[in-house]
Every structure is written in structure tokens, then in C-alpha cells.
Amino acid sequence: MSRIAYVNGQYVPHQEAAVHIEDRGYQFADGVYEVIPIVANKLIGEEGHLDRLWRSLDELQIDAPMKRKPLQLVMRELLRQNGIETGLIYLQVTRGVAPRDHPFPKDAVPSLVMTAKRTSLAKAEAKAEEGVAVITVPDIRWARRDIKSVSLLPNVLAKQKAVEEGAYEAFQVDDDGFITEGSSTNAWIVLQDGTLVTRPASNDILSGITRADLLKLLENKDFKVELRPFSVDELLNAREVFLTSSSSYVQPVVQVDGKSIGNGKPGSISNELRAVFKDYMNN
Ligand code: PDD
């Protein structure tokens, strides 16, 4: 089955999918995106992702390219045409095509593109069983990280550094020495007494849908949760560390900046939360 993408109202072969060189996404990173996981034909956290998409669009005063219901139909049709039951949808909206000039163009029509790809739950599971390494890097991003903008250069540089150092992710550190989040994930620690800590939603981080869904699932469980920034020192001395995202789900971290966390194996709480999240995705 050949891959199909969606570009401004049309389903086209993935290899031929293109937008104009004067699309403002291309020239100014003037756009927003979402990555939505699909497990066994279910769009995980769909409403949360769409709420966040609309919020990002509103914050940047970009008109929605279509109403919510038709957008949901397009996502499903794209999955159908690609024969995908488990995978990811990438959805991007930019301010549209206009002669290059910084102010908002008057008549630009927002561009909407979507791609879908298959992913392997077994691969994610294998990674979770092993755990991953992370490094820490300075957070050099702008002050509105709550907007899911396609302007991702600092995130790209952070992830590249992680890859070069043999790590899976880079946790970014603010000027006060506190972790903000990963380059494409949210960061969590488990304190020695079992308390879960993750940074509260604010302009400092992207409010992850996986993070929000996990927090909701935790409301019915016997865990103490603290929503507050945590320091690099707390990270290095945590009982457990894990990260969350639409592509990693709940992923245990077993090494930070070369130092083993706990006994260097995924911790029991991280494993339990991963199982809780898996259960939520499958039901
Ligand atoms: N990244 N923080 C950042 C900076 C992110 O880019 C992401 C998502 C997250 C986790 O959010 P969510 O749980 O909604 O996926 C946190 C996506 C997956 C990406 O850019 O590929």
C-alpha cells in the first residue's frame, strides 16, 4: 500500500506532497502542529490534542483551516487510506502562502497538511524494558513553550546532542537550574519516598497530552503528586526518572548525564505507570 499524505484538501502520494516555497511555515516557522498517537484504531487523547491545536492557533491568531468535526474525519480517512491501525498522525497548520514579509498577510489561507506513519508497539515495549539514557542541556528556547509551534530549532539541537552522546533524550534546564522538559517529551521524577514530581503547566513547557492524561489516571491511584519544578540535583538523586510523550508513552529513564538512576534498571513505579497508561490506550 503506497503512503498517502493530506495537503490542503487533497489526498496525494506521500512522495509528491508539497507546499509552496512561500508558505510562511517554511519561511518563518509561522505555524503549529500536533502529533497524535493511534493504538488499535483509537486516536489516543484526541480531544486533548485538538483542544491544544485550537489553543495554539488562537495564541498565534491563525484561523483554523476547518472545523473540528471535518478535521477528525480527515484524520480517520488518512489512516484508512494508509491502512494504519497503530501509529502516529502528524498534523501541521501554517498561516499560509504569501510574499515574504514579517507582518501577518491580509488574505493568506491557512495551510493544513497531515501525514501518518505506522509504529511498532513491540519496539516501544522493548525500549521501555531496557530504559533509556538522557542528558541535560541548557534551555535556550523562547518564552512561549506552551504553544506547539513548528519553530523547533533549539529542540532539534538538544536532541542532536543527545544522539551524539548516545542518549535518547535531552532534558532542558532553565536559568535557575530547574528542568523544564525534554526536547520532545515531558520529564518526571520519583522521589525516594515515592512522590511523583513534574513541572506544572505554564508558558515554560508544552503541556503534554500524555502528561495530562497520566495525571488524570493518577487521580484514582494511591500516589502523591507534586506539580513543581525540580532541580538537576533532584533529577540525579531521584529514585526513578521517566518521560512521557505521544510517541514514547511512559518511558523509564535509567541514566542521566552518565549517572545510573537507582540500580540502572527501570523502576517499579515507572513500570507500573507505563502499564496503567497502556491499559488506558487499549481500552
Ligand atoms: N512532542 N514537550 C515537548 C517540547 C514536545 O515537543 C512534546 C511532544 C511533549 C509531549 O507532549 P505530548 O504528550 O502531547 O506528545 C512535551 C511530539 C511528540 C513531537 O514533537 O514529535
For the chain, the domains span 4-119, 124-282
Output the residue whose Cα is nearest ligand 1's atom 7. 184
Q: Give the residue numbers annotated as catalytic, written as ranges.
A: 148
pLDDT in tens, 138-179: 999 999 999 999 999 999 999 999 999 999 999 999 999 999
Name the strand (E) or helix (H) holding 156. Answer: helix 153-164
Q: Is 89 in the pocket of ligand 1 (CB under 6 A)?
A: no
The pLDDT mean for the chain works out to: 97
pLDDT in tens, 13-24: 999 999 999 999
Q: Is 245 in the pocket of ligand 1 (CB under 6 A)?
A: yes
Domain spanning 124-282, CATH architecture: Alpha-Beta Barrel (3.20)
**Residues with Cβ within 8 Å of residue 122, at least 6 apart in sequence:** none
Please tell me the CATH code under which domain 4-119 is placed.
3.30.470.10
Q: How confident is the model at residue 40 (pLDDT cuts 50, 70, 90)?
A: very high
Rounded-to-integer distance, Cα 81 and Cα 78, Å? 5
- For ligand 1, the distance from its centroid to the CA atom of residue 31, given in whole angstroms, is 15
**Residues with Cβ within 8 Å of residue 123, at least 6 apart in sequence:** none
pLDDT in tens, 228-267: 999 999 999 999 999 999 999 999 999 999 999 999 999 9
% residues pLDDT > 70 (the chain): 100
pLDDT of residue 1: 76
Query: 220-227: which pairs have CB atoms within 8 A and are 24 or more residues apart?
Result: 221/276, 223/194, 223/195, 223/196, 223/269, 224/193, 224/194, 224/195, 224/196, 225/195, 225/196, 225/197, 225/198, 226/195, 226/196, 226/197, 227/197, 227/198, 227/199, 227/200
| Residue 147 vs residues 60, 61, 152, 246, 265: alpha-carbon distances, Å | 8, 12, 11, 16, 34
Question: How confident is the model over 37-43, as a mean pLDDT?
Answer: 97
pLDDT of residue 195: 98
Output the residue whose Cα is nearest ligand 1's atom 8. 184
- For ligand 1, the distance from its centroid to the CA atom of residue 36, given in whole angstroms, is 10
Whether residue 85 is predicted with pLDDT greater than 80 in this model: the reply is yes
| Atom from ligand 1 closest to the CA of residue 155 | 4
Is it true that 4-119 and 124-282 share their CATH fold? no
Whether residue 187 is predicted with pLDDT greater than 80 in this model: the reply is yes
pLDDT of residue 214: 98
- For ligand 1, the distance from its centroid to the CA atom of residue 77, given in whole angstroms, is 24
Spatial CA neighbour of 60 closest among 21, 20, 96: 96
Q: Are 210 and 246 in contact (CB under 8 A)?
A: yes
Cell of 31: 505555524
Rounded-to-integer distance, Cα 134 and Cα 210, Å? 19
